[in-house]
Structure 1
Amino acid sequence: MERSALDAVYQELILKHYRSSRFRGELDAPDAVIPMRNPVCGDDILLQVRVDDDRIAEIRFSGHGCAISQAAASMMSEHAVGKSWDEVRGISDRFREMIHGDETASRDKKLGDMRALAGVAKLPRRVKCAMLAWDALDEAEKKIRSGEPES
């Protein structure tokens, strides 16, 4: 596929996740609720996670911000549901490598739709936007593993 055509597909995929994520909303009984903010550009994410048997059973997010932060939250949610914390950490690490410019990671099929965000590596000011939901998920794991109850 020609580079400009591929860029257009990726742009459309990012916009699709930005506009209509099936993970946007709230959970009835989350095990963790994590607010995360990017003070540089004002992006906000409120991540809610419910775990069952050390696997992410449900995940929802709300918030506002740029297409990158909101699409990344949607894509992260899609990839996290049903996975163990160890599996999620592996995906998160690979995504982080891609966002920081690792060409091999940007071709890793395990990242699925998230590969559409590989171009963020060329926009250093947007890396935090793309990582916001992943950082929130990392905090959710810490909170859940510590046994800290959600109020």
Structure 2
Amino acid sequence: MSFNNLDQLYRQVIMDHYKNPRNKGEIEDSVTVDMNNPTCGDRIHLTLDVQDGIVKEAKFDGEGCSISMASASMMTQVIKGKPVDEALKYSQIFSDMMLGKEYDDSVDLGDIEALQGVAKFPARIKCATLSWKAMEKGIDQQSE
């Protein structure tokens, strides 16, 4: 597949998650994190149900650019049902990918791979990582 075709496919994946977000909503009686990116106005309201070290459920609401909202949708999909340590590992891999660092490419990132091009646009990295930072904060809160 040529680079242009791959780039187009990634854009389609991002737009699909933006227009049809997965796990949008709120979980009652859960860990709640509200974060925003004042630079561009993205905001996220993330709720997590963590039981016995497993992320049982993850939902988000918010508003922002397509990258921010698509990233939140993808993040909630990948962490649901995962042990907390694995969810945090995905977050580290995603952060490394955004910063252009080497990352563990043996892990199946699924749709998240579509966001790797964001690394070329430093101003958009905060958009892509907002929900991931919220998830890390939520897991920290839950473990306190």
- Please confirm whether the aligned pair reaches a TM-score higher than 0.5, indicating the same fold: yes
Matches within 5 A, 1:96-111: 96-102=95-101, 104-105=102-103, 108-111=106-109
How far 1:51 sits from its partner (Å)? Answer: 1.1
* Total equivalences in the alignment: 144
Corresponding residue number in structure 1 for 2:88: 89
Corresponding residue number in structure 1 for 2:17: 17
RMSD: 1.4
Whether 1:44 aligns to 2:52 is no
Whether 1:34 aligns to 2:33 is yes
Matches within 5 A, 1:64-83: 64-83=63-82
How far 1:92 sits from its partner (Å)? Answer: 0.8
SS of the equivalent of 1:60 reads strand
Task: Give the TM-score normalised by the residue count of structure 1.
Answer: 0.91
CA distance in 1, matches of 2:122, 2:76: 23
Matched to 1:110, the amino acid is D
Matched to 1:127, the amino acid is I
Please tell me whether the aligned partners of residues 13 and 114 of structure 2 are also in contact (alpha carbons under 8 angstroms).
yes
Runs of 4+ in 1 over 4 A off after TM superposition: 106-109
Q: Which runs of 5+ in 1 are unaligned?
A: 147-151
Q: Which runs of 5+ in 2 are unaligned?
A: none
Please tell me whether the aligned partners of residues 22 and 74 of structure 2 are also in contact (alpha carbons under 8 angstroms).
no
1:46-97 per-residue CA deviation (whole Å, 9 max, x = no partner) reads 0000112110001100000000000000000000001111101111111111
How far 1:107 sits from its partner (Å)? Answer: 5.2
Corresponding residue number in structure 1 for 2:119: 121
CA distance in 2, matches of 1:62, 1:93: 22
Please tell me whether the aligned partners of residues 107 and 115 of structure 1 are also in contact (alpha carbons under 8 angstroms).
no
Please tell me whether the aligned partners of residues 13 and 113 of structure 1 are also in contact (alpha carbons under 8 angstroms).
yes
Call closer, same or farther: CA 1:81–1:44 in 2, change over 3 Å.
same
CA distance in 2, matches of 1:142, 1:90: 14
Task: Give the TM-score normalised by the residue count of structure 2.
Answer: 0.95
